[in-house]
Structure formats: C-alpha cells, structure tokens
Amino acid sequence: MKLSRYEVESKVNQIVESIAEENEVDKNFYGDCYPLEVMMLENKITLLTDEVDREELFEEIKKVFESYI
C-alpha cells in the first residue's frame, strides 16, 4: 500500500523533530525549506508500495537532515 503525501510529510516531520530534540537545536535547523534531496526522496516514497524500501528512503532523509547539524 502506498503512503499519501500527508503521511510521508508527517513521518518526515517526526524525523526532523527527533533530530532537533536529540541535538537541542531549533526545528528549522536545516533552513527555511526542506533540502531538495529530501523533497525528491519524499516524492519517491509516495510511489513505493514496499514498506522496506520506504523505510530505507526515510533513513536516507534522516541522514540528509543530520548532515545539517
């Protein structure tokens, strides 16, 4: 089953909040808008039906955000 755009955005928001909390930084530590790489990965996730593949891309998104710390 595919995830809706809203579901993907919610998961990414949880990732951002988790990283911000762990590192004691503001929730917009990455800048004014999500990095292009994150937005591209979000688009890919909405097309995937395999949960394992989606989780791998969410991990990539986490790594991108962590690179901004």
d(CA 14, CA 1): 21
- Cβ contacts of 29 within 8 Å, gap of 6 or more: 19, 20, 23, 65, 68, 69
- The identity of residue 3, as a single letter, is L
- Region 42-58: mean pLDDT is 98
- Cβ contacts of 33 within 8 Å, gap of 6 or more: none
> Does the global pTM surpass 0.75?
yes
Would you state the pLDDT for residue 7?
Answer: 98
| pLDDT digit string, tens, across residues 21-41 | 999 999 999 999 999 999 999
User: What value does the mean pLDDT of the chain take?
Assistant: 97
Would you state the pLDDT for residue 20?
Answer: 98
User: CB of 57 within 8 A of CB of 44?
Assistant: yes
pLDDT band at 46 (very low <50, low <70, confident <90, very high): very high
